[in-house]
Amino acid sequence: MGNKTFTIIKPDAFGAGNSGPIIEKIEKAGFNIENMRLLKLDEDSASKFYSVHKEKPFFGRLCDYMCSGPIIVMELNKENAVEDFRKLIGATNPEDAEEGTIRKLFATSIEANAIHGSDSDENAEIEINFFFN
């Protein structure tokens, strides 16, 4: 069980002015922010970051969307970080997300779903290195 995860406040949430309330929920849930950057992705970086989805029909749209505005990337620290953070953000599709989760509160669609959270300790490490090294 690792103690690191990685998150992105996605363009829809940043653009709607929801970064503040999202960061507040993350901190209140016990995560420490170890590293944080505001940036805008280019298509090349977005397609590298989401390369696991490159065969999916929504890949092109997903990359365009991730480049559509500024994002905030963060390295987070907490015991059992990956699993606890996935619980805090809720299901990929906000229609399926539990009440009180970040996606239930702030996502507008399965694509514009407000926030990213690493799905394994291994991917958390890869994603942290992608943005912070």
- Residue 9's beta-bridge partner residues? 72, 115
The whole-angstrom separation of Cα 32 and Cα 26 is 8
Q: Does 116 bind ligand GDP (CB under 6 A)?
A: yes
Q: What is the chain's length?
A: 133
The site map against ligand GDP for 48-87 (x = CB under 6 A) is ----------x--xx-------------------------
Give the shortest CB-86-to-ligand GDP separation in angstroms.
8
To ligand GDP, the closest distance from the beta carbon of 50 in angstroms equals 7
53 is catalytic: no
Q: Can you tell me the distance from the alpha carbon of 91 to that of 98, in angstroms, rounded to the nearest whole number?
A: 7
Residue 124 backbone dihedrals phi, psi, to 5 degrees = -60, -45
H helices present in 18-120, as ranges: 19-28, 43-49, 59-66, 81-89, 102-106
Q: Residue 61 CB, nearest distance to ligand GDP (Å)? A: 5
Which of 116, 117, 128, 131 is labelled catalytic? 116
Catalytic residues: 116
Binding site for ligand GDP (CB under 6 A): 58, 61-62, 92, 110-111, 113, 116, 119
